[in-house]
Structure 1
């Protein structure tokens, strides 16, 4: 006698496979500029929180984490700028500059000009 009933685990696995397949199809329909911009906005938002620009700066500020996020954001924007429209690049650069300046203000020991987070990609920010 064989048991043809599905177990809850196999149903869940099947549903996850369908969800993953749907996500793959969905991402295939998204333009590269949208993926790049979305990633940049996530990095920018996280960096803003970590430099203390959120609702609760006392518990959310982490300048070491902010430095990493800002550097990654600067690299992404610099690398992607030639391939995304000037409209997108300009607004991302403005946001990047804002978090770089906020980092400089929040840092108890400021980096030398040109040595701050992301400045190897953007040049000095002051």
Structure 2
């Protein structure tokens, strides 16, 4: 229960630190880390990095013109160099390389679905 609450806090508050989470769970840091790792399969810091990266990736995909500094701060990174470092670690490329190489989203599901199904069947 406490760990589940901590996970929600990490997702909702990108600036929260692990010590604050441990205190809110009424546990010491080491005990909290052990309980969290058993529950989530990774340490609180690792989980925090994944959530922070997912948030950055989402914002980057949906706001490609967003400045990296603004992106970094809105996702809880100390600065843009930490964002780039984590981005490279998770994807193997920089955010700029990612944006230039990614495929645009398919519009098949974003438009009127019935029209797309009719269009695709009429071509066959």
Same fold (TM over 0.5): no
TM-score normalized by structure 2?
0.37
Structure with greater Cα Rg: 1
Between the two structures, name the one with larger relative contact order (CA 8 Å, sep ≥ 6): 1
TM-score normalized by structure 1?
0.36
